[in-house]
Structure 1
Amino acid sequence: MTALLSVQDLTYTIRKRQGWLGSEERFTLSPVSFEINAGETLAIIGDNGSGKSLLARLLVGAERPSGGHIFLNGQKLDPFNIKQRCLNIRMIFQHSNESLNPGLSVGRILEEPLKLNTQLDARARQEKVVNTLKLVGLLPDHQFFYRHMLSDGQRQRVGLARALVLDPQVIVADEPFAALDPSVRSQTVNLIMALQRELGLGFVFISHNLGIVRHISDRLLVMQKGLVVESGKTETVFNWPKSEYTEKLVMAHQSLINR
């Protein structure tokens, strides 16, 4: 069976000059490879600066890789074809409050991707906006709301709706629950899992919360300083970590939940 999303030897190098002497700082994302099938979730964990968010940006086309390839349903994605990537791989951002334009209504926020990427007329776009709001547990009237009128949980649902409105095949979520309180976080996690079952989406989920990672992911990728130090089925990695770094992460998580 052909994988929904296949990443082969993806690399990226950042060079920055810092300080008055112009010293060069270099960060290299070493070759990353993984596959996701429809309905599966791959979680990516690691400390800050490990390359998790950089990998997310490479997947959605916000950055162009130095090397390697990304395949969707066996077809190689052109790194210069942003529309192709935008239609099929969508992103949910960590801070929904910052990612939503305060000057636009929810309806306008959801309609804009449809205007830019589809041939739908105004009536069809309106119908799609309403149906997508319902899909994420919001009301049709929420299309008339502005950012300041929404709760944190509702804002994150709008972020999810914006990702889903183009009917993508893969969702990349970068710390989507970090700003939510525990009760709202639980509701949002359950919503995402239900939508994944219903729509057959592939999820790439980036998080520091190993409790959620263990709950929702099928496979796990552990990153440190741009390197993939371990990968495998989630339960296998949690129960029998092979690298010292992964073992430290798991032990830290266990110590928190056993307090």
Structure 2
Amino acid sequence: MTPLLSVENLSWRKVTKTGLFQKPSVFELQPVNFELQPGETMAIVGENGSGKSILAKLLVGAEIPTQGDIYLNGEKLAPDNIRERCLKIRMIFQHSQGSLNPAITLGSLLDEPLKLNTTLDSKERKEKIEQTLTMVGMLPDHAHYYRHMLSEGQRQRAALARALILNPQVLVADEPFAALDPSVRSQTVNLLLKLQNDLGLGFVFISHNLGIVRHISDRVLVMREGRVVESGKTNDIFTWPKTEYSQKIVSAYQTLTTKK
């Protein structure tokens, strides 16, 4: 079976000058390899600065890899063809408040990518927007709302609608639940699981919340200082972590849940 998404030896390197008499700062993402099947969720975990967000940006085309390849349904994605990448692999941002333009309505926000990337006429675009809003648990009338008129949970659903509007095959989410309160977070998690089941989406999920990781992911990549230190099925990682670093973060999670 051909994987939905394949990543082969994907790496990235950035040199940053920090001062006139200081050595440049270098960050390297060591070669990353993984496969994602339709309807599967892969979580990426690790401390700040481990390379999780860089990997997410490489997947959606926000950064260009130093080397390595990305395949979708067995077809290689050209690293410099950002438009093709954005159509098929979409991002859900961490802070929906900052990612939604306050000066335009939600309908206009969703209409723009349809204008730029499809041949739909205005009536068809309106229907598509209404269908997508309904899909994420909002009302068609929400198309007329501005950002400040939406609740916290509705803003996150709006961000999800924007990610889904072009019918992607893979969603990449970088800490999508971090800013949500527990009740809204639970609703959003359940919504994502339902959409994944209905649409057969592949889901790459970056999070520090190991409780959610354990609940929704099929497999886990553990990253540290730009390297994948361990990968495997979620239950295996949480039950029999092999590396010292994986054991440390799993132990911290288990201690926290025991205290509760």
Fold in common (TM above 0.5): yes
Q: How does 1:77-226 map to 2 (within 5 A)?
A: 77-226=77-226
Shift in Å, 1:20 = 3.7
Counterpart code for 2:38:
A
Provide the rounded CA distance (Å) in 2 between the counterparts of 1:167 and 1:205: 18
Q: Which residue of the partner structure matches residue 67 of structure 1?
A: 67
1:58-91 CA distance string (max 9 Å, x none):
0000000000000000000001111110110000
1:187-208 CA distance string (max 9 Å, x none):
0000000000000000000000
Shift in Å, 1:22 = 4.4
Q: Which residue of the partner structure matches residue 228 of structure 1?
A: 228
Provide the rounded CA distance (Å) in 2 between the counterparts of 1:94 and 1:47: 16
Identical counterparts, % of pairs: 64
Structure 2 residue 33 is matched with structure 1 residue 33: yes
1:20-79 CA distance string (max 9 Å, x none):
424200000000000000000000000000000000000000000000000000000001
Counterpart code for 1:174:
D
Q: Which residue of the partner structure matches residue 8 of structure 1?
A: 8
Counterpart code for 1:69:
D
Q: Which residue of the partner structure matches residue 46 of structure 1?
A: 46
The gaps in structure 1 that reach 5 residues or longer are none
SS at match of 1:211: helix
Moved >3 Å (runs of 4+): none
Shift in Å, 1:19 = 2.5
> What is the TM-score with the length of structure 1 in the denominator?
0.99
Provide the rounded CA distance (Å) in 2 between the counterparts of 1:105 and 1:172: 24
Aligned length: 259
The gaps in structure 2 that reach 5 residues or longer are none
1:121-150 CA distance string (max 9 Å, x none):
111110000000000000000000000011
Counterpart code for 1:185:
R
Cα RMSD after superposing both structures = 0.6
Provide the rounded CA distance (Å) in 2 between the counterparts of 1:188 and 1:82: 28
1:193-247 CA distance string (max 9 Å, x none):
0000000000000000000000000000000000000000000011000000000
SS at match of 2:24: strand
Counterpart code for 2:56:
A
Counterpart code for 1:24:
P
Provide the rounded CA distance (Å) in 1 between the counterparts of 2:241 and 2:22: 40
Provide the rounded CA distance (Å) in 2 between the counterparts of 1:122 and 1:61: 28
> What is the TM-score with the length of structure 2 in the denominator?
0.99
